[in-house]
Amino acid sequence: MKQIQWLMRINKPLLFLISVGIGVFSWLGWSYYDRRYPSWYEEVQLSDGRVITVHQKREYFDNYGTNQSWVTIDLPELGGRQIWHSYLMPMRVDVIDGVVFVVGRPRGPKQMAFYGYPKMHLVAFRWSDGVLSRIPLSSVPTSILSEENIYSCLFRAKSDLLSHEAKLKNWCPPSGERGQFAKKIDMGEYKRHADAMAALANWKNRSE
């Protein structure tokens, strides 16, 4: 009995150090994950006036930006909750005449290649037969391509919810070499950017 008590007295500092070490490593691991995979809830206003709450999650690299994204959308038109996974920065979620459309922007050459070097620096999908299928931009209602309604940049704040009102007051800052990518979508700028990237990389057989 005395030997057990002696061992416990000797091991207390060691046990304390082990517990502290586990706590530190857990905190570092969570901090790394939270920075690599930021996520938040966000209110999004649709064309029909509805305001829905979506959940965004990104895979993000400090020296690169968004590599891929997951947007959880809950709509009757989708039959409930669905996840839109893409190698894009989400820009628009909307419902037109009962059909769900989503639109995003590739981050760079890697994502452009994944989507077949699109002729426009935008990629669109439509919900049909239980899946989000990619469609040509010519099949997307023009109203959807007028401006963003979903936060395309990162939201890092103490609050987990990005409200519609907060977004209107402080939208994502313009990005691109000349700040050409903003809330208002300039289709000419998006085409010029895609054409410039295609010329630089000598892309052929580009997708719609």
Confidence of residue 65 (pLDDT cuts 50, 70, 90): confident
CB 112 within 8 A of CB 196: no
Between CA 38 and CA 56 the distance in angstroms is 8
**For 184, which DSSP code?**
B
- Which of 11-20, 101-110, 151-160 is predicted most confidently? 101-110
Q: Picking from 30-39, 73-82, 185-194, which range would have the lowest pLDDT averaged per residue?
A: 30-39
Whether the per-residue pLDDT at 95 is higher than 80: the answer is yes
- 52 in helix, strand or coil? strand
Q: Which residues have C-beta within 8 Å of that of residue 131, sequence separation ≥ 6?
A: none
Q: Picking from 91-100, 165-174, 177-186, 194-203, which range would have the lowest pLDDT averaged per residue?
A: 194-203
From the list 193, 169, 194, the residue with the least C-alpha distance to 179 is 193
- 153 in helix, strand or coil? coil
From the list 139, 8, 127, 20, the residue with the least C-alpha distance to 79 is 127
Model's pTM, two decimal places? 0.81
